[in-house]
Structure 1
Amino acid sequence: MMELDPTEIFRQEAAELLDSLETVLLDLGQTPQDRDLIDAAFRALHTIKGSGAMFGFDRVAAFTHDFETAFDLIRKGRIDANRDIVTVSLSAKDYIRTLIEDPDSTDPIIGEAIVEELHRLIGVSDGAVGKATAIEAAPETAAAASGWRIEIAFEPGILRNGTNPLALLDDLRALGTCRVEAVLDDVPELDALDPASCLITWTVALEAPCTVDEIEDVFMFVRDEMKLVIAPLGADEPVAELIPEPVAEQSAPPARVVTAPTEAAAPAEKPVAEKVEIARRSDDKTSSVRVQAERLDELMDRVGELVIAQARLSQIANSSHDLAIKAIAEEIERLASGLRDTTMGVRMVPMGSLFSRFRRLVHDLSRDLGKPVDFVTVGEDTEMDKTMIERLADPLVHLIRNAIDHGIESADRRGQTAKSATGRIELAARYVGAQVLVTVQDDGAGLDTARIRAKAEENGLIQPGANLSEHEIHQFLFHPGFSTAKTISALSGRGVGMDVVKRTIEAMRGTIDLTTIPGHGSSVTLRLPLTLAIIDGLLIRVGEGRYIIPLSAVEECIELTAADEARAKGRSFLNVRGELVPFLRLRELFDADGEADPHQKVIVTSIGDTRVGLVVDQIIGSHQTVIKSLSKLHSDVTMFSGATILGDGSAALIMDVAQLVTLGQTRAESDRAPEAA
């Protein structure tokens, strides 16, 4: 089995720490006095520095040291956190990431400039940051004493997490003279002992002029897995006590509890057996394994091949009279369906992992453009295939940049229209059937329809005075090279953007809708399938060819009777329960050979808010569809999004309903043009 490079393991863990650090810093910018956030930032920096030095990333350790010390000063009350410190810390986080991922490309001058800015903000001269921690004004409860009595009780499952309690006791000895006594009251008889559980507690007499903060720092990374009581030597009451939250509710590091002498004694500890059971349940709940993305892709490919083989087996079983073969085929179909769902579930990633990336983008753009913006996310728990998540990142970046640059007005202009000086951008995701709707909405000025029309006329896209609806005018925003920006800047004006967004979304078999209310903002909605690997489809026949329609786009199937044909009178409209639904004859669209089936069927599909019927010769049935990409030679065939292999080994094309309807409308307009002439 191939072993991972230790430095690669460090890079992976450091990337997670840096992502977590960015989230903490952005939250800290909103609530600078939040002690838990300050502690979390310090712990992340401390871990990156220590691990970096351990794995030979000396530049990372040296650069991170100053920021770790600065946040140590913040958490000890020496200096206050503010937005400027958060901003320079975010720049430092980016520099640390570059030092880890590509150290040869980093310029030391950039790192020195970041550190100098930090020194200026915290009021410490260069080279003196490390000494500043020695000059502390500690609170009364953390004041130094000649000695301390410390009671230590770890959670039973702490050994399973790789923590060595004896190493922590050695760290305490480094503070001064220690006398350690092990308490074995909770240790059961040998035959009932679980060697993986830590049931020993310790009482430590520490003779050293240190503070409570220095003692707590020894246990910084296990605070939520232990009980720690600290009292001066000879005193009956503790001055500080750390008690973890219950396992079921624990979500943040425990806070220090300062206990007055008049307070009641703490409740008795839970029985040892109950402690062990809680630890085991906690370990089971949070256990996970890191898997390379390539292996998940390979697993999905194998499952896809299995689904194709299962379809072939089912077809053979249906043509056989052997009941045993039919039973086996049904069992294999059930297992393959379950394996497909499980594999797709493994590949599903919460949208929150994508949404969190944009907080930094909004923060930086808000600062650069001088527009205060609140960024709100909704539906972070909505899940999509990881491949979809990766492809969706760039389109959303452009939509959010557009919303801030073009949509949100300046604070002065918002004040003139009685709006709040702070703009609002909402990024939301929700399920609608087998699709996910991702919406970017702002409360800005909305689209300037007159300006878009004038730019379209200037570019020769429409004739002056042409009669177009607002929706049709807004669609010019998706035309290549179209931009209404007055000047070219780092953010806009080059006409590259919305057309790329539309092509990317359509390549994902999705659609994009744009709505606006002048003076109140705009909304862009992306309609996307859950996955690009395996879908449920409807197998149909048109002429001699067989095709797949994604089941998520199908609303209902009805028969096209002779009476319906007579009522339509060549206008291609169908009356479905009092509603007129236009339909396309796929035989005509595909130029199919042979006579049409006497009992044709209409498949009513939905594209956004539009319903369109597709007339086919036969509906064969549902089909688990493994999507295979078309070759580059077929890149201009837009009405099909891919192909699949049927049970008999033949191929069937997968229809892109949105593109199919667009092509049908184009042909209908071209057919009407000669008649009008």
Structure 2
Amino acid sequence: MSINLDQAQQTFIVEARELLQAMEQSLLQLESEPGDQDAIGAIFRAAHTIKGSAGLFGLEPVVSFTHIVEDVLDRLRDGSVAVDASLIAMLLKCGDHMLELIDVVAHRGETLQPEALEREAALREALSTYQAPGTPAQRVETAAACTGTPTDVLWHISLRFGADVFRNGMDPLSFLRYLETLGQMMQVTILTDSIPALESWDPESCYLGFEIDLRSTASHATLNEVFDFVRDDCEVHIVAVDHTPDSGLGSEQVTPAEQGAITASSLRQPAASEAKPRDGNYVRVNADKLDELINLVGELVIASAGASLLARSCNNDPLQEATSTVSGLVEEILDGALHLRMIPIGDTFNRFRRVVRDISQELGKDIELIISGAETELDKTVVEKIGDPLMHLLRNAMDHGIESAEARRAAGKSAKGHLSLNAYHDSGSIVIEIADDGAGLNRERILAKAQERGLVASGAVLTDQEIYNLIFEAGFSTAEAVTNLSGRGVGMDVVKRNITLLRGTVDLDSRPGQGTVVRIRLPLTLAIINGFLVGIDQSTYVIPLDMVQECIELDERQRQSSRDKGYLDLRGEVLPLVDLRDHFSHEGPASRRQNVVVVRYAEHKAGLVVDELLGEFQTVIKPLGKLFGALRGISGSTILGSGAVALILDIPALLNQIVQLEARTPLVPQSPPAVAR
């Protein structure tokens, strides 16, 4: 039976990285609550699982280093080692080094760099101060010297693998290879009594059993741990054959009389408290396969729309009914496929706990990170690409937003600064807020710097929001000193550009002495959206459906009035209008019948004047390419059922243009704000 060990090792790499991330989070939790036994248990389990899995693949560097870490964590569990800041800092560095060792495995052929080897040596030395006197092997030798017994023990291991061990991705021979690293194999007997007749043979089932004699200084617990990952798929009996009961090792040995008690069922109970329950309801899927699925579903949506269009032109009722059924099923498949790519943003948020901890210590500030809305879900592609902009914003807030403890006390604040990350859904988008309770932005300094650089004309009247948003201009900074952390404003143009590439927007609000809030608004998914089709002449445009509030037909009087004034009286509310025919320079006279699509994004509202309302449409977003990257007001394109191309409107960009225009030239003097809120 051939086992794909390469695939199994790739699974180990992925899971090891996840375990190290969980280990880091638990260490940070333990730092804030030193008595948290659950956190201590989680840290130990993570290290123990990584060591055991690495041993199955013969990854000795990982096993060797992690074993020492595990030994210290074991002493932490039994109370022999106390939690303090230096221990947490060292264990965090150990986690970093374990990740480095895993990365070496992932990039085959590579070895640790000399500086990494030096770091490992220093960590081993630091870990040794927390270990009991002597290494485990030395402790066995010490016990043997005191009692006059041999330094090793002959163990007999009776092993029966379950039928599903192959299907669960395990190789029985890998366990034997790992046992060889713990001692000397004296004898191995392969048991074939469970092999069925040829006609009943299942090539995917395992029928093997082994009787093994192993001479080793390892304890019974260590040997037992070898089989933790197939505990539910095998029965194992481990008996010490030639030890002396009073050798001092009796607490780690098993007498022949106890052999019958050591079965898989009896061992599952203590193992349950040491390992997380296995959930068979989840399947790990390669992200590329999900992307391929989304692309195929997108093409299916386009093909389904084309089929529905043809069916309507045939005037064939049964055919139309059939295509309608297919369209409904395609919509369900689409929703299901998109849901597969939705992941909670909390995993990304939690990674910043370590960043905040390390940077606050580097700056000599006491800063607490507060996370809320971690369960909010959005597309995995968005989650992956939002990490760097969030990192930059957090670093800026800590470096130049939150004051030192002395400055905070002088301002009547608590010495501890607070930095919060929050996420929530709003109007079909996800909003991420990064808020600090620092000194806030200096409005006058930003304005002076902008005028100095020629970004703002002297004497121009700008709102606070417009002034604060000037820090997103390329290279804009008001920082008085350059540190190893970027000053507030440095690189903010990169942050805005990266968010814009995700079809998102970013703005901020600040209050002097109270703090700053940066607000990022992103689409839930980058692949497929529900759209509303509108027509102008022979051209078709798509408006994201979640931004459409209502549609209004204009009569002749309203058309003339709105054209003259540039706004519409919507039930007593001033609604600014954008005539898409003029905006996109369509030639020819306007249609005799015109409509207004009322759209809203965040707190801004406007009306888009169009010729035709064509109804809802599932929109597969296609990028425009670099040639059209400078187009304003267009975020992408899609293919209609007829094969024609429709442009997707960038509503946030259009509304932003209106906001900027109306802030400078009010539509109606002494009237309510032109942009409805």
Q: Which bracket does the TM-score occupy, shorter chain normalised?
A: 0.7 to 0.9
Tell me, yes or no, if structure 1 residue 631 matches structure 2 residue 618. Answer: no
Q: Once the 2 structures are TM-superposed, how far is the Cα of residue 309 of structure 1 from its aligned partner? A: 0.5
Q: Could you tell me which amino acid in structure 2 is paired with residue 403 of structure 1? A: A
Structure 1 residues 213 and 168: alpha-carbon distance in aligned structure 2, compared to 1, 3 A threshold: farther
**Residue 302 (1) aligns with residue 296 (2):** yes
- SS for the counterpart of 2:519 is strand
Q: Does 1:575 align with 2:617?
A: no
1:653 alignment counterpart: 647
Check the 8 A contact 1:509/1:529 in 2, yes or no.
Answer: yes
Distance in 2 (CA, whole Å) between partners of 1:298 and 1:482 is: 40
Once the two structures are TM-superposed, the CA of residue 603 in structure 1 deviates from its matched residue by 1.0
Residue number in structure 1 paired with 2:438: 444
Three-state SS of the structure 1 residue aligned to 2:475 is coil
Q: Which residue matches 1:181? A: none
Alignment correspondent of 1:559: 553
User: Partner of 1:66 in structure 2?
Assistant: 68
Which residue identity does 1:42 align to in structure 2? F
CA-to-aligned-CA distance 1:320-365 (integer Å, 9 cap, x gap): 2211101111110111000000101111111112112111111111
Structure 1 counterpart of 2:80, from 78, 81, 99: 78
**1:125 CA displacement:** 9.5
SS in structure 2 opposite 1:356?
helix
- Higher deviation after alignment, 632-641 or 306-315: 632-641
Aligned to 1:595: 589
- Give 1:352's aligned residue: 346
Structure 1 unpaired stretches of 5+: 137-155, 178-195, 229-241, 245-251, 255-281, 673-677
1:515 alignment counterpart: 509
The alpha-carbon distance between structure 1 residues 667 and 447, as it changes in their structure 2 partners (threshold 3 A), is closer
Q: Which residue of 2 aligns with 1:116?
A: 122
Kept in 2, the 8 Å contact 1:69–1:129? The answer is no
Deviation at 1:50, TM superposition (A): 3.3
The one-letter amino acid of 1:86's match is I
Root mean square deviation of aligned Cα:
4.0
Shift of 1:572: 0.5
**Contact 2:474 / 2:493 at 8 angstroms: preserved in 1?**
yes
Q: CA deviation at 1:588?
A: 0.6
Aligned match for 1:99, one of 80, 84, 101: 101
Question: Which letter does structure 1 place at the counterpart of 2:530?
Answer: D
What does residue 368 of structure 1 align with? 362
Answer yes or no: is 1:337 the counterpart of 2:337. no
Structure 2 residue identity aligned to 1:54: L
Does residue 545 of structure 1 match 2:539?
Answer: yes
CA contact (8 A) 2:239 2:253 kept: no
Measure, in 2, the Cα distance between the counterparts of 1:365 and 1:554: 43
Match of 1:462 in 2: 456
The residue type paired with residue 28 of structure 1 is L
Following superposition, the deviation at residue 127 of structure 1 comes to 10
1:40 alignment partner in structure 2: 42
2:479 & 2:559 partners in 1: Cα distance?
Answer: 50
| C-alpha distance in 2 between matches for 1:9 and 1:24 | 22
SS at match of 1:32: coil
- Mapped partners of 2:133, 2:605: distance in 1: 69
Q: Which residue of 2 aligns with 1:483?
A: 477
Is 1:506 matched up with 2:500? Answer: yes
Q: Distance between the aligned counterparts of 2:361 and 2:265, measured in 1?
A: 36
Taking the aligned partners of 1:572 and 1:623, their CA distance within structure 2 comes to: 29
Once the two structures are superposed, the pairs formed by residues 413-424 of structure 1 within 5 Å of their partners are 413-424=407-418
Gapped regions of structure 2 (runs ≥ 5): 143-161, 173-208, 222-230, 667-677
Aligned AA for 1:106? L
Give how far 1:435 is off.
Answer: 1.2
Aligned-partner SS, 1:535: strand
Is the contact between residue 399 and residue 487 of structure 2 (CA under 8 Å) also seen in structure 1?
A: no
Q: CA deviation at 1:510?
A: 1.6
Output the amino acid matched with 2:96: D
**1:227 partner letter:** Q
Corresponding residue number in structure 2 for 1:381: 375
- Per-residue CA deviation, residues 432-464 of structure 1 (Å, 9 max, x unaligned), is 232111111111111111221222122222234
Structure 1 counterpart of 2:393 = 399
Distance in 2 between residues matched to 1:360 and 1:481, nearest whole Å:
28
Partners of 1:70 and 1:129 within 8 A in 2: no
Which aligned pairs between 1:10-21 and structure 2 lie closer than 5 A? 10-21=12-23
Residue correspondence of structure 1 range 24-423 to structure 2 within 5 A: 24-102=26-104, 104=110, 106-113=112-119, 115-116=121-122, 119-120=125-126, 123=129, 128=134, 130=136, 209=248, 226-227=268-269, 286-423=280-417
Q: CA deviation at 1:134?
A: 7.5
Does the aligned pair in 2 maintain the 1:119–1:125 contact within 8 Å?
A: no
Equivalent runs, 1:615-630 vs 2, <5 Å:
615-630=609-624
**Kept in 2: contact 1:10–1:55 (CA 8 A):** no
2:451 & 2:352 partners in 1: Cα distance?
Answer: 35
- Aligned partners of 2:427 and 2:546 also within 8 Å: yes
What amino acid sits opposite 2:122 in the alignment?
E
Give, in angstroms, the shift of residue 33 of structure 1: 2.7
Stretch deviating more after TM superposition (48-57 or 578-587): 48-57
Q: Could you tell me which amino acid in structure 1 is paired with residue 557 of structure 2?
A: A
CA distance in 1, matches of 2:401, 2:612: 48
Q: TM-score, normalised by structure 2?
A: 0.77
Amino acid at match of 2:514: H
Q: CA deviation at 1:227?
A: 3.3
Counterparts of 1:661 and 1:243, CA distance in 2? 57
User: Is the counterpart of residue 614 in structure 1 residue 598 in structure 2?
Assistant: no
Deviation at 1:538, TM superposition (A): 0.4
CA distance in 2, matches of 1:63, 1:123: 15
Aligned pairs, how many? Answer: 584
Question: 2:146 aligns to what?
Answer: none
Give, in whole Å, the separation in 1 of the partners of 2:102 and 2:70: 17
Q: Secondary structure of 1:638's partner?
A: coil
Could you tell which deviates more after superposition, 4-13 or 391-400?
A: 4-13
Contact 1:66 1:115 in 2 (8 A): no
Rate the CA distance shift 1:201–1:666 in 2: closer, same or farther, 3 A. Answer: closer
Q: Distance in 2 between matches of 1:173 and 1:227?
A: 26
* C-alpha distance in 1 between matches for 2:347 and 2:531: 29
Q: Percent identity?
A: 38
Report the residue type matching 1:324 in the other structure: P
1: CA distance between counterparts of 2:589 and 2:498? 39
